[in-house]
Amino acid sequence: MNTFIKSVKEENQIIIIETNGYLNNEGGEAISAICYEKIKVGHHKFLINMAGTKVVNSIGVSILIEIIEKLQEVDGRIGYYNLAPIVVKTFNIMGLTKYSTVFTTEEEAVGTL
């Protein structure tokens, strides 16, 4: 597993991925690899705990958009929580928040998603 992925767990049929570090091309691909694998086995809901990720670039965001597109094909959803304000701002500018949800806590995310 890439060091960017800190942990992966399942809760209420939701796959929760905890990240750590720069969400760039490499980090994005590490997330997408897990998501695509889980989609194949029937999982459609994903949450990303970004407490350890304080920096994202547009390539990382692009990969997240690719994942959203893939999930739309299976009526799946993705959300994020524990985001740094700068990450929230980047997600907003890049339009990501129009197609996925930013949550404050894991409980809120698990309960809503």
Partner 1 sequence: MSKQFNINELQLKYLELETLLDITNELNSFENVSILLQEILVKSCAVLNASSGLILMQNNNSDLFQIEAEFNINVEALKGTIFNKKIGFFNEVNQNHKPIYVQIVDDPFLARTNCTHGLIAPLLDKKNLLGVIVLFDKESRFGISTFDESDANMLFAIASQSGVAYNNIKLIENIKEAKTFNDNIMQSIVTGVFTTNLMGEINHVNRAAAAIINLEREMVIGNHYEYVFESNEIINQLISKCEVELETVSETQIQIDCNGKSTSVNISVSPLLNDLNEPIGSVVALEDLSNLNKLKSTFKKYVSKQIVDQLLENEDLLNLGGQEQEATILFSDIRGFTSMSETMTPKEVVETLNEYFNLMIEIIFKYNGTLDKIIGDALMVIYGAPNSTGKDTENAVLTAIEMQEKLIEFNQLRIIHSKPPITIGIGINSGKVISGNIGSRQQMNFTVIGDSVNLASRLCSVAASNEIIVSDVVWKQVKANKLLKGKKLTPVKVKGKIKPIEIKEILYHRPPFDYEQAFLKIENFLITHLPINYTYHTIDHIRDVVEQSEKIAIKENMSLAEIKDIKLAAWLHDVGYIWSPMRHEARGAEYATAILTALNLPKAKINTITGMIMATNIPQSPKNLYEQIICDADLDYLGREDYEKNSNNLLQEIQLNKKITDLEWLTIQNKFLMAHHYFTQYSQKSRKEKKHVRLKLIQKQIKAIKNGTS
Chain positions contacting partner 1, by CB under 8 A: 21-22, 24-26, 54-59, 61-63, 65-66, 68-69, 86, 89-90, 93-95, 99
Which spans in the chain are helix H? 25-40, 58-73, 85-93, 106-112
Q: Nearest distance from residue 13's CB to partner 1, in Å?
A: 25
CB of 50 to partner 1, least distance (A): 14
Q: Given the complex with partner 1, which of 51 and 99 has the nearer CB atom?
A: 99
